[in-house]
Amino acid sequence: MTVTAFTPLASTIGGVLIGVAAVMMMALNGRIAGISGILGRLLPPYADCDPVGAACFVIGLVVAPLVYAAVASTPFSQTVSGNVVLMAGAGLLVGFGTIFGGGCTSGHGVCGMARLSARSLVATETFMATGFATVFVMRHLIGG
Amino acid sequence: MRNAVNLLAGLIFGLGLLISGMANPAKVQNFLDLAGTFDPSLLCVMGGAVMVTLIGYRLVLRRSRPLLAERFYLPTAKDVDARLLAGAALFGVG
């Protein structure tokens, strides 16, 4: 377990930037800025979606750390699990769950909540609840 | 032009994730660890993002169409069904 500092100011500023990106996507392209949905559009079937546009968004997302590193004075710190099997399993659950449930933290949690969608509110409560439960089991019952 | 918007939006979104600390899995997991090393930062991220999007969408969706596309591609499903619940539950576990 790694202790991380509470960063209210930086986190709120980052959140505002995420909101700006979401509003921009809707105002100009008419699309929801949902990361799982955009990633899903990279793969077939391509009915009524825009794979090239999705690829451009993903490129922007992937380039962001390089831009951040070039501008920021402090390097970005990340703590990632070294357990490859656990990471792969979690990745599968994230991918399958978001496609099946129609969204993730950005699509349901930000864009859907901002549209006051009942589905998104329920989805956000559900994944938060299973997230809390999973971390409790993994860290306090099993002891990761 | 639309692709340039996608690229820029992806970049801004990514910078938002980095600045907010949400690109660090440890910070997200600590938000979920109420009984341990709890870090409430994620609430600030959600708060900031939802506030901006809530107001922004209100203004944007008043228009008949987006500036660079024929229409708004909004989700049409309204029902809370088993698929939504199961998917969201699995995502949370992952």
Domain count, chain B: 1
| Contacting residues of A for B74, CB less than 8 Å apart | 32, 115
When the pLDDT of each residue in chain B is averaged and rounded to a whole number, the result is 96
Q: Given this model, what pLDDT does residue A93 score?
A: 97
Does the pLDDT of residue A15 top 60, yes or no?
yes
ipTM of predicted assembly, 2 dp: 0.96
Q: Given this model, what pLDDT does residue A81 score?
A: 87
Q: Given this model, what pLDDT does residue B53 score?
A: 98
The answer to whether B37 and B30 have CB atoms below 8 angstroms apart is yes
Answer yes or no: do B39 and A6 touch at CB < 8 A. yes
Answer yes or no: do B9 and A123 touch at CB < 8 A. no
When the pLDDT of each residue in chain A is averaged and rounded to a whole number, the result is 93
Does the pLDDT of residue A144 top 70, yes or no?
no
3-state secondary structure string, B8-68? HHHHHHHHHHHHHCCCCHHHHHHHCCCCCCCCCHHHHHHHHHHHHHHHHHHHHCCCCCCCC
- What share of chain A has pLDDT > 90, as a percent? 83
- The reported pTM is 0.95
The answer to whether B92 and A97 have CB atoms below 8 angstroms apart is yes
Looking at residues B22-47, what average pLDDT do you find? 96
Residues A58-89 pLDDT 10s: 999 999 999 999 998 877 888 888 899 999 99
The secondary structure element, H or E, covering residue A97 is: helix A84-101
Name the phi and psi angles at B25, rounded to 5. Answer: -55, -30
Residues A23-70 pLDDT 10s: 999 999 999 999 999 999 999 888 777 899 999 999 999 999 999 999
Residues A118-139 pLDDT 10s: 999 999 999 999 999 999 999 9
Closest partner residue to B32 (CB to CB) among A94, A117, A132 is: A132
Q: How many CB pairs under 8 A join A and B?
A: 355
Q: Given this model, what pLDDT does residue A79 score?
A: 86
Q: Given this model, what pLDDT does residue B9 score?
A: 98
Does the pLDDT of residue B48 top 70, yes or no?
yes
- Which domain range does residue B9 map to? 2-93
- The Cα of B64 is separated from the nearest Cα of chain A by a number of Å equal to 11
Answer yes or no: do A26 and B50 touch at CB < 8 A. no
Q: Is B62 on the interface with A (CB under 8 A)?
A: no
Answer yes or no: do B37 and A94 touch at CB < 8 A. no
Does the pLDDT of residue A142 top 70, yes or no?
yes
